[in-house]
Chains A and B, each alone.
Chain A
Amino acid sequence: MRHQIGTVKAVDGVSFSVDRGQTVALVGESGCGKSTTARTVLRLIEPTAGSVRFDGEELTEASTDRMRTLRREMQIVFQDPYASLNPRMPVRTILTEPFKIHGIDPGERVSELLALVGLAPEHETRYPHEFSGGQRQRVGIARAIALDPKLVVCDEPVSALDVSIQAQVLNLLEDIQDRLGLAYLFIAHDLSVVRHIADRVCVMYLGAIVEEAPTDDLFEAPSHPYTQALISAVPVADPRKERVRTPILLSGDVPSPLNPPSGCRFRTRCPKFAHDLTDAERQRCIDEPPPLVDHGTGHPAACHYAEAVAVL
Chain B
Amino acid sequence: MTAPLVSIEDLHVHFHTDAGVVKAVDGVSWSIEPGETLGIVGESGSGKSVSALALMGLVQQPPARITGRILFRDRDLLTASEDELRSLRGRDISMIFQDPLTALNPVYKVGHQVAEVIQAHEKIGRIPARKRAVDLLAEVGIPNARIRADEYPHQFSGGMRQRAMIAMALALDPALLLADEPTTALDVTVQAQIMNLLRQLQDSRGTAIVLITHDLGVVAGHADRVIVMYAGHVAESANADELYHAPRHPYTLGLLSSIARLDRRRTERLRPIPGQPPSLIRVPPGCPFHPRCAFATEICSREMPPLTGPASHLAACHHQDRVVEARAEAGVG
In the complex, what residues of B have CB within 8 A of residue A163's CB? Answer: 43, 214, 216, 255, 258-259
On whether the beta carbons of B241 and A162 are closer than 8 Å, the reply is no
On whether the beta carbons of B262 and A239 are closer than 8 Å, the reply is no
Binary B-proximity of A182-215 (CB < 8 A = 1, otherwise 0)? 0000000111110111000000000000000001
On whether the beta carbons of A250 and B262 are closer than 8 Å, the reply is no
On whether the beta carbons of A165 and B220 are closer than 8 Å, the reply is no
The answer to whether residues A233 and B192 also contact, given A163-B214, A189-B187, A239-B221 and a CB cut-off of 8 A, is yes
- Bound-complex Cα distance A232 to B263 (A): 11
Which of these binds chain A: B122-130, B164-172, B272-280? B272-280
On whether the beta carbons of A237 and B217 are closer than 8 Å, the reply is yes
- Bound-complex Cα distance A216 to B158 (A): 31
- Bound-complex Cα distance A132 to B270 (A): 20
Which of these binds chain B: A44-52, A142-150, A168-176? A168-176
On whether the beta carbons of B188 and A168 are closer than 8 Å, the reply is no
A:229-257 near B, CB below 8 Å: 229-243, 245, 247, 249-250, 252-253
Q: How far is the CB of A175 from chain B (nearest CB, A)?
A: 9
On whether the beta carbons of B273 and A164 are closer than 8 Å, the reply is yes
Chain B residue with the shortest CB-CB distance to A250: B189
Binary A-proximity of B243-278 (CB < 8 A = 1, otherwise 0)? 011000000001110111111111101111110110
Q: Which of A30, A193, A195, A196 is within 8 Å of B187, CB to CB?
A: A30
- Bound-complex Cα distance A134 to B241 (A): 30
On whether the beta carbons of B188 and A191 are closer than 8 Å, the reply is yes
In the complex, what residues of B have CB within 8 A of residue A215's CB? Answer: 266
* B100 at interface by CB-CB < 8 Å: no
Chain A residue with the shortest CB-CB distance to B245: A240
* B60 at interface by CB-CB < 8 Å: no
The answer to whether residues A235 and B217 also contact, given A132-B276, A247-B192 and a CB cut-off of 8 A, is yes
* A29 at interface by CB-CB < 8 Å: yes
- Bound-complex Cα distance A235 to B272 (A): 21
Pairs A–B under 8 Å by Cβ, sample size 5: A164-B254, A168-B274, A215-B266, A242-B220, A250-B193
On whether the beta carbons of B217 and A234 are closer than 8 Å, the reply is yes
In the complex, what residues of B have CB within 8 A of residue A166's CB? Answer: 258-260, 272
In the complex, what residues of A have CB within 8 A of residue B272's CB? Answer: 164-168, 171
- Bound-complex Cα distance A216 to B264 (A): 9
The answer to whether residues A253 and B159 also contact, given A171-B272, A237-B216 and a CB cut-off of 8 A, is yes
In the complex, what residues of A have CB within 8 A of residue B255's CB? Answer: 163-164
New contact pairs (15) apart from A171-B272, A192-B260, A238-B244, CB-CB < 8 Å: A30-B187, A167-B272, A170-B260, A171-B270, A189-B187, A191-B188, A216-B265, A229-B189, A233-B188, A235-B215, A236-B217, A236-B263, A238-B245, A242-B221, A250-B193
Interfacial residues, chain A to chain B (CB-CB below 8 A)? 29-30, 132, 134-135, 162-168, 170-171, 174, 189-193, 195-197, 215-216, 219, 229-243, 245, 247, 249-250, 252-253, 312
- Bound-complex Cα distance A234 to B262 (A): 8
On whether the beta carbons of A195 and B266 are closer than 8 Å, the reply is yes
Q: Which of B143, B159, B215, B270 is within 8 Å of A196, CB to CB?
A: B270
Chain B residue with the shortest CB-CB distance to A253: B157
Chain A residue with the shortest CB-CB distance to B156: A253
* B196 at interface by CB-CB < 8 Å: yes
On whether the beta carbons of A247 and B196 are closer than 8 Å, the reply is yes
- Bound-complex Cα distance A263 to B78 (A): 60
- Bound-complex Cα distance A145 to B182 (A): 37
- Bound-complex Cα distance A230 to B187 (A): 10
On whether the beta carbons of B276 and A134 are closer than 8 Å, the reply is yes
